[in-house]
Each structure stands twice: as structure tokens, then as C-alpha cells.
Homo-oligomer: A and B are copies of this chain.
Amino acid sequence: MRPATHIETLQPSYIREILSAASADGVISLAGGLPAAELFPCSLLEQAMTTVATQKNVFQYGETQGYAPLIAHLQSTYQLDERQSVLVTTGSQQGLDLIARAYINPGDGVVMEAPSYLGALQVFTVAQARIETVPQTEQGPDLAALAGVFATGNIKLFYAVPDFHNPTGVCWSLQTRLKVAELCDKYSVSLIEDAPYRELRFSGESLPLVSSFCSARAFVLRSFSKTSAPGLRLGVVTGPRDWLIPMVRIKQAADLHSSLPMQAVLLEILKHAEFADHLKNVQMHYQQRYHALVNGINKHIQSAVSFNTVEGGMFIWLELSKGNPEEIARKALAEGVAVVPGTAFYPGTNAASKALRLNFSHCSPEQLVVAIKRLNNII
């Protein structure tokens, strides 16, 4: 049977294509975006699973919007007023997909920073959006370019990852946050603020959500994959109450609701007295890993490279002075280290990036140093 037309435009994912090679014995993978499994809150998960096992009501069908006690907890944690609401989703990936399905007609304009999160590119491609990109600076999106594309009057949504962007690790300055909110208001563009890495800050000061400056026209996507465990597949979308209604209707057709025992497990973890310490522990280890990676690059990479420093998240963006990043990634894999070429993070096929994305959350500091030594043999 012939697939639907929009499938043909879906780019194959580089990361999925190299997945089996990257997970082969002896290969150190800096390619994926995996959290460190050894830092999962195992004891909290175990307690929560055991507690929830006897809560009979979570095994029946539930409300599409989510498990009411979890919604109440999040409404309070995020200090949402009554104009805002919460929708629990099967990972924040589903939150983004539901926004696209509920709001995008084929051809509608969506702006992203380039390079971009691949999962968002996939969602907007499936929705047949017209994807426009703006370049990224060290402070966030190029504001003149953003104003220019907004001013065409033809943009419905701006998708952004202001905290520790995937793939570049860039964290927007306060000034950029204020200006983007102002531009969204001025040009009536709705903001999708994707914040999966926000709680992975290990240095510097936390900055306000961009959406806090334009809450009447913004969705926030939050993930529990990086702070609890990704296997649970839970995220949430918050946003104006009436904006969530069409998404709830689509979600009813898409999967009725997300797993209730998992929502109850998540609530137990979030409410646990030890959760804050768990989060600090993850941040501390990611900081150590980041430093190991940076020191490894400074010490062992002999050719000219550059990278931005980061204060959190899971990635750095290593700019090469020469060479083809796809060829380098391929050769590095043969040398026992998996990385993703920057070209993989641009819509279309003619990206001119000379960068590599390096993940520092998944491997131990020792593995990261070995990986960098191997990488040096190639670049």
C-alpha cells in the first residue's frame, strides 16, 4: 500500500540510521540525547511503582487531559493562574505533535532557529507546515532576521528552545527573551517554548521563561525525561486554557490518554522530599561531565576547533575549521566514537554547517576523554 504523500518528505534521521553502529561494543556514543541511566532516581522509582501498584483507580480508563492529582500538582508548581491550563502528554514530543495537529494547516508558516531540534522538524514536516528558519547567535535567535520573517505577516508559530538549545547548547540572554516576546506580541505570532533542558542548569542564574513575558500567546512544553526517566514517556503542555481544548480533542483520537499508572508514578516522584536532591545530583554530575569534555578538547584536540561554553543542558556544538562533518562523523564511528554532524540539524539537504554535536550527559567523564582522543585522530 502506498504511504501518504507527506511521509515522502520526512527526512530519515541520521541518529536512527547509525543507532545500531553507535551502540556496538566498544563504541563510545556522544551521538544520542540520552540522560545517564546510572543517575535515574531508582529508589524513588521503585517506591513509586510499588505504591501505585495498589492504586486500583489508575488501571481504569481516565480523562484525556491527564490524571487530576498530577494536573493539580503541576498547576501549583508552575504557579499557573486560571487562564492557563495543563495537558499531560506521552512525552513532550507528543505535546508538540498535538500543537501541530490542532493548529497547523498545510502551508502555514512556522519559524525555527537553525540548526534545529530534529523531532520538531519531523513534526512540522508531517504537518506540512512551511518551515522558515532564522540563524542563531550566542544570545539566541538573530533578532533582526526574526523581525524580518515575522514582518512578512505570514507566520503562525515560532518554535524555540531558549534554555540549552538542542543541538547548540545556546541559552538565550534576558534581553533576547524580552525582545522575542515583544516581537511575538507585535506580529501576533504564537510561541512554542520547548523547555526540556531548563532544569539541567549547573551554573549561572536561571532566567525567566520567554513565555512569562507573553503568556497569553505561548505554549510551554516540559519534559520529565531528563529530570525523572524517559521510559515513562511523560511530558506536559501548558498554555492558555482555550488553546488546549482542540489539542485534547485530537489527543482523544490519537491515544485517548497517556498511561495513568505512569502519571501516578511521576506524581509520587515529584512530590517526594528527596526529588530536589536527586535533581541537584544530576546537575552536579552533568557539570563534571561537561568539564571533562571541555578539558579533553582543550588538551587533546590538536586542530583548530571552537565551541561555545554552556551552563547546562546535554550538548556542546563543536565548530571545525575544515573538513566535511558527515565524512568526519563516519570516520569517527569506524574509530569507535559516535557523533552527529551538524548538517543533520538543518531542514533540507544543503546545509553548510561545519560543526559536530557532542553529547556529554550519557558517558562517564573517563569515556568522554577517550572519545575525544579518538576524535582527534580524525579531525
Contacts and interface: CB of A to CB of B under 8 A. Distances in A.
Contacts of A114: none
Nearest to A362: B60
Nearest to A108: B4
Nearest to A260: B231
A7 B262 contact: no
Contact of A49 (B52, B57, B217, B258): B52
A60 B225 CA distance: 9
B259 A259 contact: yes
A10 B249 contact: yes
B60 A93 contact: no
A19 to B, nearest CB: 9
Interface string A229-259: 1111100000000010010011011111111
A7 B250 contact: yes
Interface residues of A, number: 70
Given A49-B50, A261-B232, A102 B255 contact: no
Contacts of A260: 231-233
A10 to B, nearest CB: 6
A198 to B, nearest CB: 19
Given A49-B52, A259-B262, A253 B59 contact: no
Interface stretch (A34-42, A69-77, A207-215, A275-283): A34-42
A330 interface: no
A146 to B, nearest CB: 19
A122 B190 CA distance: 27
A144 interface: no
Given A42-B56, A58-B231, A93 B261 contact: no
Contacts of A59: 37, 40, 42, 45, 229-232
Contacts of A3: 102-103, 246
A112 interface: no
A40 B56 contact: yes
A231 B249 CA distance: 19
A119 to B, nearest CB: 7
Given A50-B50, A56-B42, A59-B40, A233 B249 contact: no
Contacts of A231: 58-62, 259-261
B13 A252 contact: yes
A199 B229 CA distance: 34
A35 B20 CA distance: 41
Given A7-B249, A233-B256, A259-B259, 19 more contacts: A1-B103, A2-B103, A4-B104, A37-B60, A45-B53, A49-B53, A60-B229, A60-B230, A89-B255, A90-B259, A93-B256, A97-B255, A101-B126, A122-B252, A126-B250, A232-B259, A232-B260, A233-B255, A262-B262
The 8 closest A-B pairs by CB, nearest first: A49-B53, A59-B229, A231-B260, A122-B253, A90-B255, A59-B231, A3-B246, A94-B255
